[in-house]
Structure 1
Amino acid sequence: MTEQPHRDQLREAFESNEHNTPDPAAVYARVQELSLKYKRRRRGAQIAAGGVLGAGLIAGAINLPAFLPANQAVTNTAAGLPAAAPATSASASPSTENENLDAYTEAGYGYDDAGKLAKLWKMSDDDRIAVKAEAGRRLLLGETLPIQPSPDAPVEEETISPTQEKQFRAFFEAGYSWTEAEKLAKIWNIKDPSDAKLEAGKRLLAGQTLPVKPQKANVTAALEEKRANAFFRAGYDVSDAVKLAKIWNLKDAWGAKVEGGKRILAGQTLPIQP
C-alpha cells in the first residue's frame, strides 16, 4: 500500500470523530501509534524481501477515542516487578518517547508483547503505546524485560496502481469518507468498503453521480484540501502563502493556499513565482 491510503486513514479517523472533541494528548498519542504502525509495516515488507531486521505490521482497526493515555509517573524501575505508576506517552516529551518506542521495536518486541507487559506492570491494555514507551525506557537503562520478545509477523506490502490512486483521490476530493464507503459497499454488494471507494472513484471520474451524497462539511473541507494541494504541486510553499496572504489581504496563509490553488486550477497565474 502506498503512503496516500495511510494519510486517508488518518484523515478519516479525524473526520469521523471531529465532533467528539477528544483530549489533545490522546489525539497525539493515537497519531503517533498510527505513524509507528506504518513504519513497521514498511519494515515488515523489507524483512519479507530479505532486507534489514525490524518489526512487522501491528494489525488493528482505527478507533481514535479509544486511545486515551493515562496520567501516571514511574516509581518502580525493576524490570521484573509490576510498576506502581509507569510513565506514559502523555508525560514524556515526543523526542524521548520516540526513542523509547524505537528501542522497544528494535529489541524485537511486538504488539502482543505490550499486552503481556501491561498485565505484568498493571498498566492499561488500552494504551499499549504507553506500555511500549515504558518498556523501551527500561531497555535503554540496560534493564531486562520480564518476557522474551515475540515480534509481529512481517507482511508483504500491498501496492496500488496509478489508476487506483486516481480513483481514491477522486473519492476523497468529492468529500466522501469511510462512512459513505460502507453505505456504497452495501448498495453495490461489495464486501470491502475500500473496494467500494475504488468503484466510486471510477464512477466519479466517468462523470457519474453516486447513490449516496457526502456530508456538506466534508465536501467543503475536501475542496479546500484539493486547492491547497494544487498550490503545493505548482511548486509554492508556506513562505509563498504568507506573501500572497499579504497581497490579497487574507487573514492567514491557509486561506492564501486555498485561494492560490483555486486560481491555479482555473488556469490563472499568481502574482508571485514559486
Structure 2
Amino acid sequence: MTDRDQLREAFETQEHNTPDPSAVYARVQELSQKYKRRRRGAQIAAGGVLGAGLIAGAINLPAFLPANNAASNTAAGVPAAAPAVSASADPDKVRDEQIEAYYDAGFGYDDAGRLAKIWKLSDDDRVAVKAEAGRRLLLGETLPIKPTPDAPVEERTISPQDEARYSAFFNAGYTWTEAEKLAKIWKIKDPSDAKLEAGKRLLAGQELPVKPTAEGVKEALTSKRVSKFFDAGYEIEDAVKLAKLWNLKDAWAAKIEGGKRLLAGQTLPIQP
C-alpha cells in the first residue's frame, strides 16, 4: 500500500455530502489520530496538503449497490441493505466504528479490493467497502475471505528542524503543486526537497518566487484551526455540543470556530 493510496483512502472517508477540500484535509488528520495505524511516517515529506483537484477526484464515490432482500443478497455475496440508523446518530462516528471493526478483525487494504470484486463495487471505493465489511462484522456476519493484514509500514523519522520547515511551507498555504514549480525554478530534483528549501526561506523571512493560491491559504488556515481544536483534546462529540451552543449549522463549523478561539487565547464554554 503506497503513501498515495493511504492518503486517497483517508480522503475517501468524506465522500458523502461533497465536503469542501479543507474539510477533507482536516478529516484526514482527525482519522489518523483516531486509528493510530502506522500511517504517520512518510506523509509529511511525501504528500502534505493535496490540491483541491486531487481531493475532489478522490472523494467522488458512488453509493452502495441497492439490495432487495438482505438474506438473498448475503448469499449471493452482495452487500446487504444497511439497517436503519437513528437520525441522531453521527454518520462520521458510525463510519469510523465500522472501519475500526474492519481493521480490528485483521483485514487490510488489499482485502478491500478483493471484497470489491466479490460484491461488484468499484475498486476505487475501498473505504466504502471497508465500512460495509465492518458493518457486517458488527452484525456478527462472516466475510467471504480470510483477513490478510497490511504489511508494516517503515516509518521515516524527521528532524525537528525539517518538521518546522515543512510546517512553515504548508501553513503559508503552499501545496504540492507549488512545490513542483519551485523545484523547477531552483533546479531541485525532488519537490519534497523543494518544500524544505521553501520552508527554510520562509522561516528566514524571505519571499518565494511562487505565491500560494487564495484557496491554498484558506485551506491552510482552516486546517490550522481544526488541528488546534483536536490538539486541545476536543473530539467530535464536543464539536456537536458546541455547534448547538453557538447555533452553527454543523459540527464541522464548530471545529473551525473552536480552533479559531483557542488560537486567539480564548477558552471554550465546555471542557474537552
The answer for the alignment partner of 2:149 in structure 1 is 151
1:165 to 163, 186, 190: 163
Residues 45-194 of structure 1 aligned to structure 2 (within 5 Å): 63-65=54-56, 66-67=58-59, 68-70=61-63, 72-74=65-67, 75-77=69-71, 79=74, 81-83=76-78, 87=82, 93-194=91-192
- Identity, in percent, stands at 51
Paired residue type of 1:64: I
Q: Which fold has the larger relative contact order, with Cα–Cα distance below 8 Å and residues 6 or more apart in sequence?
A: 2
Deviation at 1:30, TM superposition (A): 6.1
Please tell me the residue identity of whatever aligns with 2:93: S
Whether the 8 Å CA contact 1:181–1:193 is kept in 2: the answer is yes
CA distance in 1, matches of 2:210, 2:35: 33
- Count of aligned positions: 215
Q: TM-score, normalised by structure 1?
A: 0.59
Match in the other structure for 1:25:
17
CA contact 2:106–2:148 (8 Å) conserved in 1: yes
Letter in 2 for 1:25: N
Alignment CA distance shift 1:32-1:216 (3 Å): closer
> Which residue is 2:269 aligned to?
none
Please give the alpha-carbon distance, in whole angstroms, between the structure 1 residues aligned to 2:259 and 2:131.
40
Unaligned residue ranges in structure 1 (runs of 5+): 1-8, 14-21, 47-56, 244-252, 265-269
The answer to whether 1:43 aligns with 2:37 is yes
Q: Distance in 2 between matches of 1:138 and 1:210?
A: 51
Counterpart-to-counterpart distance in 2, 1:164 and 1:39: 21
* Preserved CA contact (<8 Å) 1:69 1:130: no
| Alignment partners' CA distance in 1, 2:258 and 2:145 | 52
> Who is 1:51 aligned against?
none
Relative to the length of structure 2, the TM-score reads 0.59
Relative to structure 2, which stretch is displaced further, 122-131 or 29-38? 29-38
Distance 2:177 2:163 in 1: 19
Aligned Cα RMSD in Å?
4.8
Query: Unpaired segments of 5 or more residues in structure 2?
Result: 1-6, 247-255, 267-272
